[in-house]
Amino acid sequence: MGISKVMHQLNEEINDREIRLIGEDGEQLGIMSSDEALNIADERGLDLVKISPQAVPPVCKLMNYGKFRFEQSKREKEAKKNQHVVEIKEIRMSPGIDVGDFNTKLKNAQKFLADGNRVKVSVRFRGREMAHTEIGKTLLEKFAEQCAEVSTMEKSAKMEGRNMSIFLAPKAAK
């Protein structure tokens, strides 16, 4: 739950008999009725915002609420911009893959790992290829070996129906 989702009670919505008032600079202005606090807020051209409704008496603060909400949303956007969603990229091969194609797929996998994504490398067996699953296993082990300097193997070769796959995760940056 984000901070901006919290709904604050403002000005006339505050109907408690007594509140503890805090000034715009954080100084304590004491306990008073909500009407007195509202008058002070009007004099200073600020909003009265209830920031701690559970407290006894509830705590209210004098602030420019529009500016407060704007800065809140700005902070959230900044936090969202700095986070990176890790995706799982998949690379598919067949047991009879040739050197050139293998190297191309290897380069792609290394690029994905460098970007910080996880990679699922799978070999699909068709028809009579199912009789030689060990070819696929050696292919996957060779692939993982080639990616060893930029990744760690998360899950070793495992058969799932007609596919055999491994998971590679990027090595933690030092």
Structural domain ending residue among the three candidates 30, 58, 80: 80
Structural domain ending residue among the three candidates 30, 53, 80: 80
Question: Cα 122–164–125 angle (5° rounding)?
Answer: 90
Tally of domains in the chain: 2
Residue 92 and residue 59 in one domain = no
Residue 122 and residue 148 in one domain = yes
Q: Which residues of the chain have pLDDT under 50?
A: 1-4, 174
pTM of the model: 0.53
Per-residue confidence (pLDDT) for residue 173, from 0 to 100: 56
Residue 11 and residue 56 in one domain = yes
Q: Give the CATH number of the domain where residue 69 resides.
A: 3.10.20.80
CA distances for 141 relative to 9, 126, 133, 168, angstroms: 61, 20, 13, 11
Residue 119 and residue 46 in one domain = no
Residue 138 and residue 76 in one domain = no
Question: Cα 73–75–80 angle (5° rounding)?
Answer: 95
Residue 76 and residue 93 in one domain = no
β-partners of residue 63 are 47
Residue 141 and residue 113 in one domain = yes
Per-residue confidence (pLDDT) for residue 29, from 0 to 100: 86
Residue 92 and residue 165 in one domain = yes
Residue 72 and residue 103 in one domain = no
Q: Give the CATH number of the domain where residue 139 resides.
A: 3.30.110.10
Q: Which tens digit of pLDDT belongs to each residue from 32-68?
A: 888 888 888 888 888 888 888 888 888 888 988 888 8
Per-residue confidence (pLDDT) for residue 4, from 0 to 100: 45
Per-residue confidence (pLDDT) for residue 5, from 0 to 100: 53
Residue 22 and residue 92 in one domain = no
Residue 7 and residue 43 in one domain = yes
Structural domain ending residue among the three candidates 80, 96, 111: 80
Domain hosting 73: range is: 3-80
